[in-house]
A and B are shown apart, each in its own frame.
Chain A
Amino acid sequence: MKHPQAYLKAGAAFICLVLGWWLWQGAEAVQQASSLAGPAAHYVSNAARETGAANIVAAILFDYRGYDTLGEATVIFTTVTGIAMLFARSKYRKSSTGLSFIVKRGLSFIVPFIIMYAAGIVLTGHLTPGGGFQGGAVFATSTILFCIVYGSNFEASRIHPKAKEFTESAGAVLFTVTGLVGLVLGAGFLANASAGFPTGEAGHFLSGGTIPILNIAVGLKVGAGLSTIFYSMVKFLEVKVVAPVEGDET
Protein backbone atom coordinates (compact mmCIF):
# COMPACT_ATOMS: atom_id res chain seq x y z
CA MET A 1 0.00 0.00 0.00
CA LYS A 2 2.94 2.30 0.65
CA HIS A 3 4.63 1.94 -2.71
CA PRO A 4 1.95 3.45 -5.00
CA GLN A 5 1.79 6.53 -2.76
CA ALA A 6 5.57 6.88 -2.88
CA TYR A 7 5.49 6.67 -6.69
CA LEU A 8 2.68 9.21 -6.74
CA LYS A 9 4.65 11.65 -4.57
CA ALA A 10 7.79 11.19 -6.67
CA GLY A 11 5.76 11.85 -9.83
CA ALA A 12 4.20 14.97 -8.32
CA ALA A 13 7.63 16.25 -7.27
CA PHE A 14 8.96 15.61 -10.77
CA ILE A 15 6.07 17.53 -12.36
CA CYS A 16 6.64 20.41 -9.90
CA LEU A 17 10.34 20.56 -10.76
CA VAL A 18 9.67 20.51 -14.51
CA LEU A 19 7.03 23.24 -14.26
CA GLY A 20 9.32 25.32 -12.01
CA TRP A 21 12.19 24.99 -14.49
CA TRP A 22 9.83 26.05 -17.28
CA LEU A 23 8.67 29.09 -15.29
CA TRP A 24 12.29 30.05 -14.55
CA GLN A 25 13.15 29.83 -18.25
CA GLY A 26 10.13 32.01 -19.05
CA ALA A 27 11.14 34.64 -16.52
CA GLU A 28 14.69 34.68 -17.91
CA ALA A 29 13.32 35.04 -21.45
CA VAL A 30 11.09 37.94 -20.39
CA GLN A 31 14.04 39.71 -18.77
CA GLN A 32 16.20 39.30 -21.86
CA ALA A 33 13.51 40.17 -24.42
CA SER A 34 14.61 43.12 -26.53
CA SER A 35 11.65 43.84 -28.83
CA LEU A 36 7.87 43.69 -28.49
CA ALA A 37 5.52 42.13 -30.99
CA GLY A 38 1.81 42.13 -31.76
CA PRO A 39 -0.60 44.26 -29.70
CA ALA A 40 2.05 45.00 -27.04
CA ALA A 41 4.10 47.10 -29.45
CA HIS A 42 1.02 49.09 -30.45
CA TYR A 43 0.02 49.67 -26.80
CA VAL A 44 3.47 50.83 -25.69
CA SER A 45 3.94 53.25 -28.56
CA ASN A 46 0.40 54.63 -28.90
CA ALA A 47 -1.39 54.29 -25.53
CA ALA A 48 -0.36 57.68 -24.13
CA ARG A 49 -1.35 59.49 -27.32
CA GLU A 50 -4.63 57.65 -27.93
CA THR A 51 -6.04 57.65 -24.39
CA GLY A 52 -4.19 60.44 -22.58
CA ALA A 53 -3.36 58.16 -19.65
CA ALA A 54 0.27 58.04 -18.51
CA ASN A 55 -0.21 54.61 -16.89
CA ILE A 56 -0.37 52.13 -19.77
CA VAL A 57 -1.81 49.40 -17.55
CA ALA A 58 -4.77 51.62 -16.65
CA ALA A 59 -5.19 52.53 -20.32
CA ILE A 60 -5.40 48.85 -21.28
CA LEU A 61 -7.66 47.91 -18.35
CA PHE A 62 -10.19 50.71 -18.70
CA ASP A 63 -9.98 51.71 -22.36
CA TYR A 64 -8.76 48.98 -24.71
CA ARG A 65 -10.12 46.17 -22.51
CA GLY A 66 -12.88 48.05 -20.67
CA TYR A 67 -15.41 45.37 -21.46
CA ASP A 68 -13.29 42.73 -19.66
CA THR A 69 -13.06 44.99 -16.61
CA LEU A 70 -16.85 45.27 -16.59
CA GLY A 71 -16.93 41.47 -16.57
CA GLU A 72 -14.53 41.30 -13.61
CA ALA A 73 -16.62 43.85 -11.74
CA THR A 74 -19.70 41.73 -12.42
CA VAL A 75 -17.92 38.70 -10.96
CA ILE A 76 -17.24 40.63 -7.72
CA PHE A 77 -20.83 41.90 -7.67
CA THR A 78 -22.19 38.36 -8.01
CA THR A 79 -19.85 37.08 -5.28
CA VAL A 80 -20.87 39.81 -2.84
CA THR A 81 -24.56 39.25 -3.59
CA GLY A 82 -24.21 35.51 -3.06
CA ILE A 83 -22.30 35.81 0.22
CA ALA A 84 -24.63 38.48 1.59
CA MET A 85 -27.63 36.30 0.69
CA LEU A 86 -26.01 33.21 2.24
CA PHE A 87 -25.37 34.91 5.58
CA ALA A 88 -28.50 37.10 5.59
CA ARG A 89 -30.60 34.61 7.58
CA SER A 90 -28.27 34.54 10.58
CA LYS A 91 -29.56 37.06 13.07
CA TYR A 92 -27.24 39.65 14.50
CA ARG A 93 -27.13 39.25 18.27
CA LYS A 94 -23.91 40.24 19.98
CA SER A 95 -20.86 42.21 18.94
CA SER A 96 -17.39 42.01 20.38
CA THR A 97 -16.37 45.07 22.38
CA GLY A 98 -13.11 45.35 20.51
CA LEU A 99 -9.52 45.58 21.64
CA SER A 100 -7.93 47.75 24.32
CA PHE A 101 -7.99 51.55 24.62
CA ILE A 102 -4.42 51.95 23.33
CA VAL A 103 -5.15 50.04 20.13
CA LYS A 104 -8.34 52.03 19.55
CA ARG A 105 -6.57 55.41 19.96
CA GLY A 106 -3.67 54.26 17.80
CA LEU A 107 -5.97 53.10 15.02
CA SER A 108 -7.90 56.37 15.10
CA PHE A 109 -4.64 58.20 14.30
CA ILE A 110 -3.75 55.84 11.45
CA VAL A 111 -7.12 55.44 9.70
CA PRO A 112 -7.30 58.95 8.12
CA PHE A 113 -3.96 58.30 6.42
CA ILE A 114 -5.12 54.89 5.19
CA ILE A 115 -8.24 56.46 3.69
CA MET A 116 -6.18 59.26 2.10
CA TYR A 117 -3.82 56.66 0.63
CA ALA A 118 -6.76 54.72 -0.80
CA ALA A 119 -8.29 57.88 -2.28
CA GLY A 120 -4.92 58.78 -3.79
CA ILE A 121 -4.57 55.37 -5.39
CA VAL A 122 -8.06 55.61 -6.88
CA LEU A 123 -7.85 59.22 -8.11
CA THR A 124 -4.37 58.98 -9.65
CA GLY A 125 -4.93 55.55 -11.14
CA HIS A 126 -4.41 56.88 -14.67
CA LEU A 127 -1.03 58.43 -13.78
CA THR A 128 0.71 56.09 -11.34
CA PRO A 129 0.50 52.37 -10.55
CA GLY A 130 -2.76 51.56 -8.89
CA GLY A 131 -6.34 52.13 -9.84
CA GLY A 132 -9.86 51.44 -8.75
CA PHE A 133 -9.39 47.84 -7.75
CA GLN A 134 -6.34 48.39 -5.54
CA GLY A 135 -7.69 51.58 -3.95
CA GLY A 136 -11.04 49.96 -3.26
CA ALA A 137 -9.29 47.06 -1.56
CA VAL A 138 -7.40 49.51 0.68
CA PHE A 139 -10.74 51.16 1.57
CA ALA A 140 -12.11 47.73 2.47
CA THR A 141 -9.02 47.10 4.62
CA SER A 142 -9.75 50.22 6.68
CA THR A 143 -13.33 49.06 7.38
CA ILE A 144 -11.98 45.59 8.29
CA LEU A 145 -9.61 47.24 10.78
CA PHE A 146 -12.61 49.05 12.29
CA CYS A 147 -14.49 45.73 12.52
CA ILE A 148 -11.61 44.05 14.36
CA VAL A 149 -10.47 46.86 16.64
CA TYR A 150 -13.77 48.55 17.57
CA GLY A 151 -16.14 45.58 17.11
CA SER A 152 -18.51 45.05 14.22
CA ASN A 153 -21.37 46.81 16.03
CA PHE A 154 -19.47 50.12 16.02
CA GLU A 155 -18.58 49.69 12.36
CA ALA A 156 -22.19 48.96 11.41
CA SER A 157 -23.42 51.99 13.35
CA ARG A 158 -20.97 54.29 11.51
CA ILE A 159 -21.43 52.85 8.01
CA HIS A 160 -24.78 51.15 7.68
CA PRO A 161 -24.74 47.88 5.68
CA LYS A 162 -27.51 49.24 3.46
CA ALA A 163 -25.30 52.24 2.67
CA LYS A 164 -22.52 49.88 1.59
CA GLU A 165 -24.89 47.98 -0.70
CA PHE A 166 -26.10 51.28 -2.13
CA THR A 167 -22.50 52.41 -2.73
CA GLU A 168 -21.66 49.18 -4.50
CA SER A 169 -24.71 49.40 -6.75
CA ALA A 170 -23.92 53.06 -7.44
CA GLY A 171 -20.44 52.06 -8.64
CA ALA A 172 -21.90 49.44 -10.96
CA VAL A 173 -24.46 51.90 -12.35
CA LEU A 174 -21.79 54.58 -12.86
CA PHE A 175 -19.58 52.14 -14.80
CA THR A 176 -22.44 51.00 -17.05
CA VAL A 177 -23.80 54.50 -17.64
CA THR A 178 -20.32 55.71 -18.64
CA GLY A 179 -20.19 52.87 -21.14
CA LEU A 180 -23.68 53.67 -22.43
CA VAL A 181 -22.72 57.32 -23.03
CA GLY A 182 -20.15 56.10 -25.54
CA LEU A 183 -22.83 53.96 -27.16
CA VAL A 184 -25.24 56.92 -27.37
CA LEU A 185 -22.54 59.10 -28.97
CA GLY A 186 -22.21 56.50 -31.71
CA ALA A 187 -18.76 55.09 -30.98
CA GLY A 188 -19.50 51.80 -29.20
CA PHE A 189 -19.84 50.56 -25.66
CA LEU A 190 -17.15 51.94 -23.27
CA ALA A 191 -15.55 54.00 -26.04
CA ASN A 192 -13.18 56.65 -24.72
CA ALA A 193 -11.43 59.05 -27.08
CA SER A 194 -13.34 57.94 -30.16
CA ALA A 195 -16.61 58.97 -28.48
CA GLY A 196 -15.33 62.51 -28.02
CA PHE A 197 -14.31 62.46 -24.37
CA PRO A 198 -11.49 64.99 -23.81
CA THR A 199 -8.28 63.03 -23.26
CA GLY A 200 -6.23 65.98 -22.07
CA GLU A 201 -2.46 65.85 -21.93
CA ALA A 202 -0.75 62.68 -20.73
CA GLY A 203 0.65 63.18 -17.23
CA HIS A 204 -1.84 65.83 -16.08
CA PHE A 205 -4.38 65.10 -13.36
CA LEU A 206 -7.35 65.81 -15.61
CA SER A 207 -6.53 63.46 -18.46
CA GLY A 208 -7.49 60.10 -19.80
CA GLY A 209 -11.12 60.75 -20.74
CA THR A 210 -13.35 58.18 -19.04
CA ILE A 211 -10.50 56.36 -17.26
CA PRO A 212 -10.69 58.38 -13.97
CA ILE A 213 -14.50 58.02 -13.91
CA LEU A 214 -14.26 54.26 -14.38
CA ASN A 215 -11.53 54.13 -11.71
CA ILE A 216 -13.84 55.84 -9.21
CA ALA A 217 -16.71 53.51 -10.17
CA VAL A 218 -14.59 50.39 -9.67
CA GLY A 219 -13.17 51.81 -6.42
CA LEU A 220 -16.66 52.36 -4.97
CA LYS A 221 -17.74 48.91 -6.07
CA VAL A 222 -14.73 46.94 -4.82
CA GLY A 223 -14.40 48.83 -1.53
CA ALA A 224 -18.06 48.47 -0.60
CA GLY A 225 -18.24 44.91 -1.90
CA LEU A 226 -15.23 43.52 -0.04
CA SER A 227 -16.19 45.20 3.23
CA THR A 228 -19.72 43.77 2.84
CA ILE A 229 -18.22 40.28 2.47
CA PHE A 230 -16.12 40.69 5.62
CA TYR A 231 -18.98 42.20 7.63
CA SER A 232 -21.34 39.37 6.63
CA MET A 233 -18.83 36.72 7.71
CA VAL A 234 -17.94 38.45 10.99
CA LYS A 235 -21.61 38.89 11.83
CA PHE A 236 -22.13 35.19 11.28
CA LEU A 237 -19.06 34.39 13.38
CA GLU A 238 -20.30 36.30 16.38
CA VAL A 239 -23.62 34.49 16.27
CA LYS A 240 -21.88 31.12 16.10
CA VAL A 241 -19.68 31.89 19.11
CA VAL A 242 -22.68 32.84 21.26
CA ALA A 243 -24.84 29.86 20.30
CA PRO A 244 -22.87 26.94 21.92
CA VAL A 245 -22.72 28.78 25.26
CA GLU A 246 -26.50 28.91 25.38
CA GLY A 247 -26.67 25.25 24.46
CA ASP A 248 -24.41 24.30 27.40
CA GLU A 249 -26.48 26.21 29.92
CA THR A 250 -29.79 24.57 29.09
Chain B
Amino acid sequence: MSTVLYGFFCVFLILTALVASEIEDILSSVISLSINGVLLAILFVILQAPDVALTQAVINSGLVTSLFLVAYSQTEKQDLRRGDDKK
Protein backbone atom coordinates (compact mmCIF):
# COMPACT_ATOMS: atom_id res chain seq x y z
CA MET B 1 0.00 0.00 0.00
CA SER B 2 2.71 2.43 1.02
CA THR B 3 4.84 1.63 -2.00
CA VAL B 4 1.87 2.11 -4.34
CA LEU B 5 1.12 5.50 -2.80
CA TYR B 6 4.81 6.39 -2.97
CA GLY B 7 5.01 5.48 -6.66
CA PHE B 8 1.80 7.39 -7.42
CA PHE B 9 3.17 10.58 -5.87
CA CYS B 10 6.53 10.06 -7.60
CA VAL B 11 4.85 9.79 -11.02
CA PHE B 12 2.83 12.94 -10.39
CA LEU B 13 5.97 14.71 -9.17
CA ILE B 14 7.70 13.88 -12.47
CA LEU B 15 4.65 15.02 -14.45
CA THR B 16 4.41 18.39 -12.69
CA ALA B 17 8.17 18.91 -13.03
CA LEU B 18 7.96 18.22 -16.77
CA VAL B 19 5.01 20.61 -17.13
CA ALA B 20 6.84 23.28 -15.13
CA SER B 21 9.92 23.09 -17.31
CA GLU B 22 8.37 22.54 -20.74
CA ILE B 23 5.17 24.62 -20.87
CA GLU B 24 5.15 27.88 -22.82
CA ASP B 25 3.03 29.92 -20.41
CA ILE B 26 5.05 31.09 -17.41
CA LEU B 27 1.98 31.45 -15.17
CA SER B 28 1.09 27.78 -15.69
CA SER B 29 4.72 26.90 -15.03
CA VAL B 30 4.69 28.71 -11.68
CA ILE B 31 1.43 27.03 -10.63
CA SER B 32 2.77 23.65 -11.68
CA LEU B 33 5.88 24.26 -9.59
CA SER B 34 3.64 25.04 -6.61
CA ILE B 35 1.78 21.73 -7.05
CA ASN B 36 5.17 20.05 -7.31
CA GLY B 37 6.07 21.53 -3.91
CA VAL B 38 2.88 20.25 -2.29
CA LEU B 39 3.45 16.74 -3.66
CA LEU B 40 7.05 16.82 -2.45
CA ALA B 41 5.84 17.85 1.03
CA ILE B 42 3.42 14.87 1.08
CA LEU B 43 6.28 12.59 0.02
CA PHE B 44 8.44 13.93 2.85
CA VAL B 45 5.65 13.09 5.31
CA ILE B 46 5.45 9.55 3.89
CA LEU B 47 9.23 9.23 4.28
CA GLN B 48 8.85 10.37 7.94
CA ALA B 49 10.59 13.74 7.69
CA PRO B 50 7.95 16.13 9.09
CA ASP B 51 10.45 18.96 9.71
CA VAL B 52 11.50 19.07 6.07
CA ALA B 53 7.88 18.64 4.96
CA LEU B 54 6.78 21.70 6.95
CA THR B 55 9.58 23.80 5.46
CA GLN B 56 8.80 22.53 1.96
CA ALA B 57 5.07 23.23 2.27
CA VAL B 58 5.49 26.76 3.60
CA ILE B 59 8.46 27.89 1.53
CA ASN B 60 7.85 26.29 -1.84
CA SER B 61 4.07 26.46 -1.98
CA GLY B 62 3.59 29.76 -0.19
CA LEU B 63 6.54 32.08 -0.35
CA VAL B 64 8.31 31.05 -3.55
CA THR B 65 5.05 30.97 -5.50
CA SER B 66 4.07 34.45 -4.34
CA LEU B 67 7.56 35.81 -5.07
CA PHE B 68 7.50 34.24 -8.54
CA LEU B 69 4.05 35.72 -9.21
CA VAL B 70 5.24 39.18 -8.17
CA ALA B 71 8.31 38.84 -10.39
CA TYR B 72 6.10 37.56 -13.24
CA SER B 73 3.69 40.48 -13.05
CA GLN B 74 6.41 43.13 -13.08
CA THR B 75 8.43 41.83 -16.04
CA GLU B 76 7.77 42.10 -19.76
CA LYS B 77 5.71 39.11 -20.85
CA GLN B 78 6.87 38.84 -24.46
CA ASP B 79 10.58 38.48 -23.76
CA LEU B 80 10.15 35.50 -21.48
CA ARG B 81 8.19 33.27 -23.85
CA ARG B 82 10.30 30.31 -24.90
CA GLY B 83 8.67 30.20 -28.32
CA ASP B 84 10.32 33.47 -29.30
CA ASP B 85 13.79 32.00 -28.94
CA LYS B 86 13.15 29.31 -31.49
CA LYS B 87 12.04 31.64 -34.27
What residues make up the interface of A, taking CB atoms closer than 8 Å to B?
20, 24, 27, 30-31, 55, 57-58, 121, 129-131, 133-134, 137-138, 140-141, 144, 148, 226, 229-230, 233-234, 236-237, 240-241
Contact = CB atoms under 8 A, between A and B. Distances in A.
B23 to A, nearest CB: 17
A236 B70 CA distance: 10
10 contacts: A27-B47, A121-B54, A130-B51, A134-B51, A137-B62, A141-B58, A226-B63, A229-B67, A230-B63, A237-B70
Given A140-B63, A226-B63, A230-B66, A134 B71 contact: no
Given A130-B51, A133-B55, A137-B55, A237 B63 contact: no
Interface residues of B, number: 18
Interface string B32-64: 000000000000000100110111001100110
B70 A134 contact: no
Nearest to B7: A24
A24 B6 CA distance: 11
Contacts, number: 52
B82 to A, nearest CB: 14
A141 B51 contact: no
B67 A141 contact: no
B21 to A, nearest CB: 11
Most chain B beta-carbon neighbours within 10 Å: one of A134, A141, A233: A134
A131 B51 contact: yes
